[in-house]
Structure 1
């Protein structure tokens, strides 16, 4: 089991300081997020600049942004950003991806695609281009939305065979889960029969893990990532929150405090360390 912390807000100096404190407190990963404009949150920063700063000020923790919606980014630019941060961190970057949250004005307020089907197509093509460019070999691409004339993209990432990609999987949607199979990790969500979002239970995660074990042909490592909140001062309560998900098969617990506005509360939880269970 690995334990990560998602930093939800703060000025940029404090964010980097919290990343350092998280490493010192024993967290295995420290993550920011990828947003453009959410009125209720206010200030936010570019994730790739923040991650570059984190990379230079930490030594061992995994870093990433939870999560990047490639449909509103140029995949070749994202390839350059990810390779740069992977080199700055000496191979510690993770790339969590999904369709993105439409409440972010970085979609509707600036004319980005909001149609779910088209965003899914853009996600698939973006990931194919990313992995092709990361190979360091001559690569070209012809898709419905993107065209890439042959180029050899250098340098390749530090990590081999690639920077790990964690993908949102909407259970039990077949197309969504098939996308997950091609990459390196699952960020579980659930879609009800009426199309609404559902609550993911440990039984759902267990079913997703079984599906992946049955259908994934790659033999490279694979992570199942779940996020939530635990108290830093009550081991038994933290264990009771996490253990059902650990038993179901998660490999990463991501501590998150999205609704907390007081950054001192977030910082205190970071310093209390991860909720490791036996």
Structure 2
């Protein structure tokens, strides 16, 4: 059995300090909340990665339906390289009562599920580090011609 420590709320310094202490105490993972508005989860995890060597790092849940999948792909691959393959991406729809409506985010579960599915397709496509096209109901990506980062350290 493995154990993960959850930091429900805190700034980057707090995240780095708690992650360091969790690793010293023998915990296996360190997870943060990804709110609609507030401390940016991937920045907190970056701070934690800089202070730790072996802890797995991730969000409690990333509601892909409210993300730009290409930005999330970049954040996760960057952190995966920085941490030498310690990223865990936990995904889901997210709870609408955590601020979706207040920020004009999609609240319809079916639409959010479609966005999640398409987002996962885009993430895995971009993580390959190769030119990529995508045509979905909600997202369209013409062949990516840019300096893509290499694929993640670990394979999705």
Between the aligned partners of 2:142 and 2:41, the Cα distance in structure 1 is: 28
What CA distance in whole angstroms lies between the structure 2 residues aligned with 1:80 and 1:54? Answer: 18
TM-superposition CA deviations, 1:118-143 (whole Å, max 9, x none): 00000000000000000112211000
**TM-aligned CA deviation for residue 156 of structure 1:** 1.3
Provide runs of 4+ in structure 1 moved above 6 Å.
Answer: none
TM-score, with structure 2 as normaliser: 0.94
For residues 52-131 of structure 1, what are the structure 2 equivalents within 5 Å? 52-105=46-99, 107-131=100-124
Q: Which residue number corresponds to residue 136 of structure 2? A: 143
Whether contact under 8 Å (2:16, 2:49) holds in the other structure is: no
TM-score (normalizing by structure 1): 0.54
**Structure 1, unaligned stretches of length 5 or more?**
38-43, 163-278
Aligned to 1:138, the other structure's residue is in SS state coil
- Say which one has the larger Rg: 1
How many residue pairs are counted as aligned between the two chains? 154
Q: Structure 2 regions of 5+ residues with no counterpart?
A: none
More strand by share: 1
Shift of 1:154: 2.4
- CA-based RMSD of the aligned residues comes to 1.2
Secondary structure at 2:138's aligned position in 1? coil
Aligned to 2:12: 12
- For 1:151, what is the secondary structure of its paired residue? coil
